[in-house]
Amino acid sequence: SMYTVALTGNCLILLAVKRTPSLHQPVYYFLSMLALTDAGLTLSTMPTTLAVLWFDYRLIGFNACLVQIFFLRSFSVVESSMLLAMSFDRFVASPPLCAMQLSSQIMSSSGLATVSLFPVPFLLKRLNYCPGKILLSHSFCFHADVMKQACADITVSILYGLYVVLSTVGVDSSLIVLSYILNLYTVMGLAFPRELIQALNICVSHILAVLVFYIPVIGVSMIHHFGRHLPHIVHALVAYVYLTVPPVLNPIIYSMKSKPIREAMLKVLRRKGQD
């Protein structure tokens, strides 16, 4: 399944970076953190998915559903922060100490952003829900879907959810765009075509990872706000793309574009085969 592929690929990157001393550099540190975040996002959705597919969604308690909503949003915020850290690392081309300080500052802001997610489950819990309605429209708990089941005014939950999105993913995406505008401006000033191509090639994998993450995020937000008239299968498909495609594609993108990562992953696989 997609979950197995995502978890295997990201765990393989973590092992490759850990077991290869030459990859103990800031850029690969960021990449391993991104892989760890993707693995956490995959694991946070699997229990509910298995319960729905193999058992009964009613076995999932409402409190467990709220916990899953919190973790889904938290991992998304952390991944957005990691992509921002990687974009700044590309721009400043800083030495390891400076890059590590930069990453610690961005991760601290990511932690503060995660704290802002704490009220979300409590805002949902205080609502009265209509009896007889099915809580889950997907095989996992989704914030917008849970809100729709309430027989009460959900304005506060909507506004606070919008604030969280704009103050975390919205700010991160804006800063990523700004950093790459400055980066491209700097790169275009290179005199030699070979250096220009090399510099652009370094950024390609990260740009692809940014697109793979933000396009599904924007898509799932747009579909829930403006696509209410669309069939349920469309909502479910967009939600699954949002949760499974980035964790699956990120290891493929980085293993294809980064020769050191590719070689380290092959060494890990060979070692596993010999064992």
d(CA 14, CA 17): 5
pLDDT of 95 reads 47
Within 10 angstroms of residue 112's Cβ, the number of other Cβ atoms is: 11
Task: Give CA angle at 253 (265, 47), nearest 5°.
Answer: 80
Give φ, ψ of 132 to 5 degrees: 90, -10
Is 42 among the domain residues? yes
CA-based end-to-end distance of the chain: 25
Contacts 24+ apart (CB under 8 A), 19-26: 19/264, 19/267, 19/268, 20/260, 20/264, 20/267, 22/260, 23/260, 23/261, 23/264, 25/96, 26/89, 26/94, 26/96, 26/99, 26/100, 26/103
Low-confidence stretches of the chain (pLDDT beneath 70):
1, 47-61, 89-111, 113, 132-139, 187, 189-202, 272-275
pLDDT of 190 reads 60
d(CA 251, CA 13): 7
pLDDT of 97 reads 46
Q: What is the DSSP letter of 135?
A: S
- Per DSSP, the chain holds a count of helices (H) and strands (E) of 11, 0
Q: For the packed helices 193-226 and 232-257, what is the interaxial angle rounded to 10 degrees?
A: 160
Is 149 among the domain residues? no
**Which residues fall within 8 angstroms of residue 156, CB to CB, at 6 or more apart?**
123
Class of residue 169 by CB neighbours under 10 A (exposed 0-12, middle 13-18, buried 19+) = buried
Is 163 among the domain residues? yes
Q: Note the pTM of the prediction, 2 decimals.
A: 0.82
Is 130 among the domain residues? no
Q: Are 50 and 72 in contact (CB under 8 A)?
A: no
Is 20 among the domain residues? yes
- Look at the chain and report how many structural domains it folds into: 1
Domain ranges, residue 94: 1-120+135-143+156-272
Give φ, ψ of 129 to 5 degrees: -110, 145
Tokens 């933000």 belong to 214
Is 166 among the domain residues? yes
Is 43 among the domain residues? yes
Contacts 24+ apart (CB under 8 A), 32-35: 33/82, 34/79, 34/82, 34/83, 34/86, 34/209, 34/250, 35/10, 35/11, 35/250, 35/251
Give the CATH number for residue 69.
Answer: 1.20.1070.10
Is 148 among the domain residues? no
